[in-house]
Amino acid sequence: MPVAQRRAETTWTGTTARGSGHLHVDSGAFPDQTLTFAARTEQSGGMTSPEELIAAAHSACFAMALSARLTQGGHPPEQLTVSAVCTLDRVDGSYAITTMELDVRGRVPGIDEAGFQAAVSDAEKGCPVSKALAGNVAITATGHLEG
C-alpha cells in the first residue's frame, strides 16, 4: 500500500501552439492555473509551467531530505533554503528537461563545511524527486553553509 498518492488534472483545449490548459490540484493548495505553450517556452506572463512545478517539487523534497539527513547526523538545521532551476531545452529536435540546478543555503549550528557538503551530497542521492529524475536529467546541488 502506498504511503501517499497526490492528484492533479489538466484539461487542454486546442492546438499546442494556440491552445491553453487549466491545471487543478486536488489538495486546493493553490488555485487552478492556466497553462499555455508560449508561457512555457517564452515569457511566463504570470502563468506556470511543468518545469516550474517540477522545480517547486524538487526544492521542497530536497529541503525535507536534507533536513532529515542533518537531523539524523545530530545537526538539526535552523533554516534551509533550496532554490531549483529546471531547464527545458531542445535535444535532437524535440523538447527535453535537461538539467536541474539546486542551490542550497543552510544555517546549521555545530556542523562544519565538510559535514554540510556531505549532507547535501547524501540528500541529492536520497531525495525521492532526485531519484525520479536520475538518469534522465543532470542534477547538480551546490551547498552554502551560512553563519
Locate the domains of the chain by residue range: 8-41, 50-145
Phi, psi values for residue 85, rounded to 5°: -125, 115
**Reported CATH class of domain 50-145:** alpha beta
- Residue 81, pLDDT above cutoff 90: yes
| Residue found by looking up cell 559535514 in the block | 115
Average of pLDDT values for 94-107?
A: 98
Of residues 113, 123, 45, the one with CA closest to residue 84: 123
pLDDT of residue 34: 96
Q: Are 120 and 104 in contact (CB under 8 A)?
A: yes
pLDDT of residue 130: 98
**How deeply is 63 buried, as exposed, middle or buried, from its count of CB atoms within 10 A (0-12, 13-18, 19+)?**
buried
Average of pLDDT values for 11-21?
A: 96
Average of pLDDT values for 56-78?
A: 98
- Residue 51, pLDDT above cutoff 90: yes
| Residue found by looking up cell 542551490 in the block | 103
Q: Which residues pair with 11 in a beta bridge?
A: 22
- Residue 147, pLDDT above cutoff 90: no
pLDDT tier for residue 84 given thresholds of 50, 70 and 90: very high
